[in-house]
């Protein structure tokens, strides 16, 4: 019987940082902190139907969306572990109007800031669909030894040093990317550890699943309508037939696309020409992960990771996934210009 040692998240990140000269281990401890928040959120998500933590918290967030109680709990967990950790100078959250600069001695010496959506897809909480936490980690542009500033947060996604998500689904997984690769860890509840289950994830360069909200079809621009028509008419002769999957939870739709291949689209609409999904803590983290895994991410006109944010809660249209599918989609944008 081969005693296959299963690497925990901590063991893996420590192994990784030992390969990097002058690494301080701060990124490893940051990922440990996020993993801890994920375990705590997982406990509440898994028992949400049993205790009074479902339902609305009675307020609306900066996005104008009803805040669910689990949103508030999840946001508090992420802020708490990052503020009490040793590796984060401040955070930006989907649930909070402005950035939070921790401004204490240890935090001011930290070289990273973190952007996150603490519980994306929360409109699906009451229906038990998979939901998730999404995060992006940036090196500060201001020097450690002083409080972080807003400039540390408004960086293009290409500047991320790491990004990832935690999906609370049939199993709970933490997937994160650095420039060295994308790795997935499945939570083993019996030992309370995320264990390496999906080493070196690569997204298939082609796929047969397209993911978009058809309910908005008539609000989409012509290139999007044309590409959706193309998807619906694919046959065996030209790489199809395709199937359509749309859960309405970005983490769930993107996790499937990463593992099985496919394209996920949230285009601009006549109601929301700039799109619905947020650049800093939804699209940038997934664009980073997908590009490291070998895929592609665009807003229809430019690479997501090259977009320079103007404001913390900027939104962007997004077309992301298997390179060949995204390239075909973008070819109809080029035709229209
Ligand atoms: P729609 C969830 O509310 C979310 O922010 C993403 O997780 C998801 O991809 C999208 O919105 C779904 O939006 O308009 O299709 O319901």
- Tens digits of per-residue pLDDT, 176-231? 999 999 999 999 999 999 999 999 999 999 999 999 999 999 999 999 999 999 99
Tell me the three state secondary structure of residue 94. Answer: coil
125 with 223, same domain: the answer is no
Indicate whether 54 and 132 sit together in one domain: yes
Q: Does 140 share its domain with 43? A: yes
The predicted pLDDT at position 128 comes to: 86
pLDDT of residue 192: 93
Residue 3 inside a domain? The answer is no
Taking the CA of residue 249 as reference, the ligand 1 atom at the shortest distance is: 7
Nearest to 258 by CA among 198, 172, 179, 178: 198
* Residue owning the nearest CA to atom 13 of ligand 1: 248
Q: Is residue 2 a part of any domain in this protein?
A: no
Tell me the CATH number at 90. 3.30.540.10
Q: Whose CA is nearest to atom 16 of ligand 1?
A: 248
Query: Looking at 163, 179, 198, which one is the last position of a domain?
Result: 198
Residue nearest to atom 1 of ligand 1 (CA): 248
Provide the b/e sequence for 111-127 (b: ≥16 CB within 10 Å).
Answer: bbbbbbbbbbbbebbee
Instruction: Decide if 204 is inside a domain.
Output: no
Q: Based on the fold, state whether residues 177 and 223 are members of the same structural domain.
A: no
Are 174 and 166 spatial neighbours (Cβ–Cβ below 8 Å)?
yes
Ligand 1 pocket test target in 71, 250, 282 with most atoms within 8 Å of CB:
250
Report the domain count for the chain: 2
172 lies in some domain: yes
Distances (CA, A) of 71 to 101, 143, 188, 304: 21, 32, 24, 26
Contact residues of ligand 1, CB 6 A cut-off:
120-121, 123, 213, 248-250, 253, 266, 276
**Predicted confidence band at 48 (pLDDT cuts at 50, 70, 90)?**
low
CATH number at residue 272: 3.40.190.80
Query: What is the whole-number distance in angstroms between the Cα of residue 297 and the centre of ligand 1?
Result: 17
What spacing in Å lies between the alpha carbon of 317 and ligand 1's midpoint?
Answer: 12
Confidence of residue 243 (pLDDT cuts 50, 70, 90): very high
Cβ burial 150-166 (10 Å sphere, 16+ → b, else e): eebbbbbbeebbbbbbb
* Residue 198 Cα distances to 52, 99, 156, 231, 271, angstroms: 34, 33, 28, 29, 39
pTM equals 0.94
- Give the list of residues 6+ apart from residue 215 with CB closer than 8 angstroms, or none: none
**Domain span holding position 284:** 209-336
Last residue of a domain, one of 148, 173, 198: 198
Distance 266 CA to ligand 1 centre (A): 8
């Amino acid at each position: 019987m081969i005693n296959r040692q299963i690497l925990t998240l901590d063991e893996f990140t420590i192994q990784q940082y030992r390969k990097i000269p002058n690494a301080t281990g701060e990124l490893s401890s940051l990922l440990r902190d996020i993993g801890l928040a994920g375990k705590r959120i997982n406990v509440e998500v898994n028992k949400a139907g049993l205790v009074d933590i479902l339902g609305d918290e009675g307020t609306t967030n900066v996005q104008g969306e009803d805040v669910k109680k689990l949103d508030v709990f999840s946001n508090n967990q992420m802020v708490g572990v990052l503020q009490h950790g040793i590796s984060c100078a401040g955070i930006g959250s989907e649930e909070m109007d402005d950035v939070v600069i921790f401004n204490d001695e240890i935090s001011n010496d930290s070289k990273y800031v973190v952007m996150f959506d603490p519980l994306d897809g929360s409109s699906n909480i009451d229906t038990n669909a998979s939901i998730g936490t999404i995060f992006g980690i940036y090196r500060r542009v201001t020097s450690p030894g002083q409080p972080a500033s807003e400039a540390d947060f408004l960086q293009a996604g290409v500047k991320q040093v790491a990004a990832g998500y935690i999906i609370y689904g049939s199993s709970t997984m933490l997937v994160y990317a650095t420039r060295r690769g994308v790795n997935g860890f499945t939570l083993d509840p019996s030992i309370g550890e995320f264990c390496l289950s999906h080493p070196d994830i690569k997204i298939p360069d082609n796929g047969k699943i397209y993911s978009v909200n058809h309910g908005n079809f008539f609000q989409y621009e012509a290139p999007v309508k044309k590409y959706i028509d193309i998807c619906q008419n694919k046959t065996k002769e030209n790489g199809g037939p395709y199937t359509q999957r749309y859960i309405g939870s970005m983490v769930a739709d993107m996790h499937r696309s990463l593992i099985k291949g496919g394209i996920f689209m949230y285009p601009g609409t006549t109601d929301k020409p700039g799109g619905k999904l947020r650049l800093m803590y939804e699209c940038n983290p997934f664009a980073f992960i997908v590009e490291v895994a070998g895929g592609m991410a665009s807003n229809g006109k430019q690479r997501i990771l090259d977009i320079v944010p103007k404001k913390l809660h900027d939104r962007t249209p997004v077309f992301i996934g298997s390179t060949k599918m995204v390239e075909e989609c973008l070819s109809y944008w080029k035709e229209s210009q």
